[in-house]
Amino acid sequence: MKRILCALLLCSLLCALMPDAFADGVQQVSLSIPCTVTVDVGEHGKVYSNSTTWIGPSIGSFQVWPGTRVSFLITPDTGYVVNVLLLSGTDVREGLRDGLYGTVIEHNETLVVRFGKPASPSPTPTPVPTTPPWQVTPPYGPKTGDENTVGTWATLLLVSAAALLVLSRKIHKPHTDQAQKRN
Amino acid sequence: MKKLLSFLLALALLSGLSVIAFADGESTGGNQTVNAHITGDPSWVLVIPADQTIEYMAEETDIVHHDCSIDNPKHIPADCTINASLTHTGNFTLKTDESKTIPFTLNAFDEEVAAGTPVIVSQYWSDTRVNHCYAEFFIVISRDSWKSAEAGGTYTTPVTYTSELVDHIVDPADGGTDHS
């Protein structure tokens, strides 16, 4: 019994004297994946961003770290305007100010730019004059540039005839006045 | 006599049980330190490499840079070794979605180290009082793994460093053979 106890004692003492000590530490190793921005430019314009100019038609791409604000300077050729501005399928034309469009990149994005002729302004309807019902406008009055002069001449003849009639009456009227005075 | 032996036995057992090793750490600029405290005389400071960021599309990255060491060893018994080892998980995990990972391998001594298997990085030999840090612990990420990673994502992986006092001389090149 004594021997067993002694052996146990020695064993315990050895364990106590030779501890397996340890210490832990953690090194965090990390990596980040950049976002790819693809620029798809149509003809009749160019896009400048990230120190690169894409002259349409062309497609290019560049990479930025997430959270980076990227600006695009969009310049249509003379006589053209930006017709389509899509960021990953979403219409972002409202964000275009003086040819500049900016956005913060968080994921891969594709910017599609298309140029076109400005839409011709729709003709403003000329107000139709509302003529009162008692004012009758001749359906065929003389107009400048009319080549058909028959109506014009007929009108002139009628006016001339009327004028002659009035004048002839005026010429005869004084004689009657003088005859009355003599009487 | 029996009583005396029993008392001594109980005392020895208690002292054996009360050997508590614990560690606390701090980051000092570049490297991080972990202090090993033992309720006996032996003590040391484990210095581990600072947190590190791997460059995008880098296929091999040294993560230790000779920056793992056992500093300020005190009262280390003769013919003992303090081993500092590292273990890795084998995967980077996306911070925002732990289900998304990037696999990697850790190459040490020109051989692949399996995930979860400790590999000795640094040693202190009490007989020669030499502290040596081994080099060339590379995290290897394949090009395909890089390409399949989530754009805009940040991935991390913990590399755990452990130090321990062992009562014989260990050579990592021999897979931990006792040289004593």
pLDDT tens digits along B110-124: 899 999 999 999 999
What pLDDT is stored for residue B51 in this prediction? Answer: 93
What pLDDT is stored for residue A164 in this prediction? Answer: 86
Q: Does B96 touch chain A (CB under 8 A)?
A: no
Residue B180 DSSP label: -
Q: Is the pLDDT of residue B17 over 50?
A: no
Question: Shortest CB distance from B46 goes to which of A23, A31, A108?
Answer: A23
Residues of B in contact with A105 (CB under 8 A): 152
Average pLDDT of the segment spanning B31-39 = 66
Confidence of residue B159 (pLDDT cuts 50, 70, 90): very high
User: Taking the domains of chain B in order of start, what are their residue ranges?
Assistant: 2-172
Q: Looking at beta carbons, which pairs linking A87-94 to residues 24 or more positions away fall under 8 Å?
A: A87/A111
Confidence of residue B21 (pLDDT cuts 50, 70, 90): very low
The lowest-confidence range among A23-32, A85-94, B36-45 is: B36-45
Tokens 């009355």 correspond to A180
Confirm if B121 and B161 have CB atoms less than 8 A apart: yes
Burial class (CB in 10 A: 0-12, 13-18, 19+), A179: exposed
* CA nearest to A7 within chain B: B9
Name the helix (H) or strand (E) containing B156.
strand B154-166
Higher-scoring residue by pLDDT: B93, B169: B93
What pLDDT is stored for residue B20 in this prediction? Answer: 38
CA A72/CA A81 separation, integer angstroms: 15
CA A33/CA B99 separation, integer angstroms: 16
Q: Do A17 and B40 touch (CB under 8 A)?
A: yes
What pLDDT is stored for residue B109 in this prediction? Answer: 81
113-152 in chain B: CB under 8 A from chain A: 139, 141, 146, 149-152
Please name which of B175, B103, B93, B172 lies closest in space to residue B139, comparing C-alpha atoms: B103
What pLDDT is stored for residue B52 in this prediction? Answer: 93
Average per-residue pLDDT in chain B? 80
What pLDDT is stored for residue B78 in this prediction? Answer: 87
Confidence of residue B30 (pLDDT cuts 50, 70, 90): low
Q: Do A30 and B12 touch (CB under 8 A)?
A: no
Residues of B in contact with A68 (CB under 8 A): none
Across the A:B interface, residue pairs with CB atoms under 8 Å apart total: 163
Confidence of residue B162 (pLDDT cuts 50, 70, 90): very high
Indicate the angle between helix axes B2-17 and A2-17, nearest 10 degrees.
30
* CA nearest to B77 within chain A: A18
Q: How many CA atoms lie within 13 A of B108 on its CB side?
A: 25
User: Taking the domains of chain A in order of start, what are their residue ranges?
Assistant: 35-116
Question: Shortest CB distance from A24 goes to which of B5, B42, B160?
Answer: B160
The CATH class of A35-116 is mainly beta
Name the helix (H) or strand (E) containing B13.
helix B2-17
Phi and psi at residue B161, to the nearest 5°: -110, 135
